[in-house]
Amino acid sequence: MKRKSIYTLASIWLGCLLVLFSGCATIPTEYITSNEIAIIPQPQKMVVGDGQFNISAKAGISYNDAELVDCAEFLAEYVNVSNKNISSKFNPEADIVLKVNEQNDQYLGDEGYTLKISKDQVVINANSVAGVFYGVQTIRQMLPISIEQKDGIDVRAALKCVEIMDQPRYGWRGFMLDESRHFFGQEQVEKTLDMMALYKMNRFHWHLTDMNGWRIEIKKYPKLTEVGGKGDWTSGENAGGFYTQEQIKQVVEFARKRNIVIIPEIDMPGHATAANKAYPEFSGGGTDRHPEFTFNIGKEETYSYLSDILKETTELFPGPWIHFGGDEVHFANKQWKDIPEIQELMEKENLKTLYEVETYFNRRMAGVIDSLGKTTAGWDEVVDAGLDPEKTVVMWWRHNMPTQLAKALDKDFKVVLCPRIPCYFDFVQHKTHKMGRTWSGFGSLEGVYQFPDMPESYKVKDSEQIMGIQACLWTERVHNLERFDYMVYPRLSALAESCWTNQANKDWDNYQQRLKSHIQLYDVLGIGYFDAFDPEKTPEPMWPIQK
């Protein structure tokens, strides 16, 4: 009797399983599309067709150039198909085709792409791996947001049929992060790089040294991080932190896969406090407000020391640019007058003023960067230093000095636009906000979006010399990840559109509609943000200390 009941139970289970399996076989897969196409930055040309391409679990991905493997793997991950579906043996009939042109298509330039989605096939075509990568990011944004949740749901994504022809307005689409004032670490940096990639941004300027912390390991001078890496702007007693060379290599590789070039900044001859804490023998003093702010640029040993640092830095970053700061030296260089080595240098080189000493230093260090095979980048103070415009990129940041931009252009420098208003993301973004900088204005979402076409207080003339635009997150008052996200999102998306989309194709009302979908994406990805549509919903995370 007992035995019989076991058999009965077993056969009931078997029956249930059979019903379940046969049920699965007959229920068609459900494919979902996103409700609307909400791509940021807005593509230059887009025609929406009828129907959709269903991305089955069996969809094959094929590519024609070995360097496209990362693009294929990203795509497989985004659309939830196995890497086993990827084939490097090129098949133009595959479900999803990634293709670098053998002959350049003039319209597409270096980073443009076409994306054709029909009911039967998806084809991305570009002149470069970067272009294909941006086509893949466009697909990522066309997917229903629930796919990003990756929570085991068994619905599959579909893409609306569309034809897109796209290419960026600017080649430099940048974001700068100051990790000296507060240190955020590898995970946050990589998360930011991934969001930059989603928004087709391609330059990460990493401000690694300044007054409150030295964040890059230099093997020849270990105290830079052992001593100079401690503390942050909130307190010198805080742990602070730094990146080992190994970690930097990992971040560089993470960025490379996303077509992002990293520009490291070693700030000199000012903003050197953390370095001077570690190696006081190279300090050129400062003021009460900014103690030990400068290097002693009269000493020959200082040039060897900084050249060694730049050499190790160069070896870590394969991109073409090294940023050497050059900003705000006049803040705290008065002690230079009293330093015998600086007096001797002035005598020897016939330098009449401290400013001439500073420009002498800039020229020498730019020469070092050149000898290391890199191009110098510097803040807009360096415009007057007599540097070679062919070998220098200038970042125009002093929005209250448009003459500095005009001068840079007149002197034939290549320029990146990052005026404090609207590009400094430590400025507040709403009139009710209290934490963060305000001057005669602030960095509203609309201000960022309209830049550089409708700047409120200055006119940026169109010029081939303008390489692009960059946002800068200075972090004196950004002490945690919550404030980090709040200051960056959604302004990063507005900046991305300013960088990528031609003025004729920008539309503030339409952007705001698309942004609503992106805010849902931020929720899914666990990214904090300021809700520009409902400011009270996301109150400003306060910075706890008054200084």
Residues in the site for ligand ACM, rule: CB under 6 A? 327-328, 379, 397
For ligand ACM, give the closer residue by CB, 134 or 396: 396
Which candidate in 95, 179, 210, 267 is catalytic? Answer: 210
For ligand ACM, give the closer residue by CB, 397 or 489: 397
For ligand ACM, give the closer residue by CB, 379 or 413: 379
Whether the ω angle into residue 43 lies within 30 degrees of 0, i.e. cis, is no
Check residue 86 and report its DSSP letter. E
What does each C-alpha distance from 275 to 215, 268, 280, 324 come to in angstroms? 10, 10, 8, 14
Which candidate in 65, 70, 73, 328 is catalytic? Answer: 328
210 is catalytic: yes
485 is catalytic: no
Residue 438 beta carbon to ligand ACM: minimum distance, rounded to whole angstroms: 16
Residue 374 beta carbon to ligand ACM: minimum distance, rounded to whole angstroms: 20
Residue 474 beta carbon to ligand ACM: minimum distance, rounded to whole angstroms: 6
Residue 479 beta carbon to ligand ACM: minimum distance, rounded to whole angstroms: 18
8 Å CB contact between 67 and 125: no
Please tell me the chain's helix, strand, coil percentages from 3-state DSSP, rounded to the nearest 5: 40, 20, 40
How many H helices and E strands in the chain? 17, 18
CB atoms within 10 A of CB 208: 23
User: How many alpha carbons fall within 13 Å on the CB side of residue 410?
Assistant: 8
Check residue 450 and report its DSSP letter. H
For ligand ACM, give the closer residue by CB, 211 or 252: 211
Q: What is the dihedral of CA 225, 226, 228, 232, to 10 degrees?
A: 90
Residue 328 beta carbon to ligand ACM: minimum distance, rounded to whole angstroms: 5
Which candidate in 182, 205, 207, 271 is catalytic? Answer: 271
For ligand ACM, give the closer residue by CB, 145 or 401: 401
For ligand ACM, give the closer residue by CB, 287 or 538: 287
How far apart CA 345 and CA 49 sit, in angstroms, is 70
Which residues lie below 8 Å from residue 108, measured CB to CB, with a gap of 6+? 101, 114, 125, 126, 127, 131, 165, 167
For ligand ACM, give the closer residue by CB, 165 or 394: 394
End-to-end CA distance of the chain: 83
Residue 369 beta carbon to ligand ACM: minimum distance, rounded to whole angstroms: 18
Check residue 116 and report its DSSP letter. E
The closest residue (CB) to ligand ACM is 327
How far apart CA 248 and CA 246 sit, in angstroms, is 5
Residue 268 beta carbon to ligand ACM: minimum distance, rounded to whole angstroms: 13
For ligand ACM, give the closer residue by CB, 397 or 486: 397
How far apart CA 403 and CA 329 sit, in angstroms, is 19
Give 301: exposed, middle or buried? Use CB within 10 Å, 0-12, 13-18, 19+.
Answer: exposed
Q: What is the dihedral of CA 219, 223, 225, 226, to 10 degrees?
A: 120
3-state secondary structure of 255: helix
8 Å CB contact between 424 and 437: yes
In this structure, are strands 113-117 and 122-126 parallel, antiparallel, or unpaired?
antiparallel
How far apart CA 265 and CA 209 sit, in angstroms, is 7
Check residue 214 and report its DSSP letter. B
For ligand ACM, give the closer residue by CB, 128 or 404: 404
Q: Which amino acid is at 370?
A: D
Residue 405 beta carbon to ligand ACM: minimum distance, rounded to whole angstroms: 14
Residue 181 beta carbon to ligand ACM: minimum distance, rounded to whole angstroms: 11
Q: Which amino acid is at 251?
A: V
328 is catalytic: yes
- Nearest Cα neighbor of 160 from 98, 117, 216 is 117
Structure tokens at 95: 């479900």
Catalytic residues: 210, 271, 328
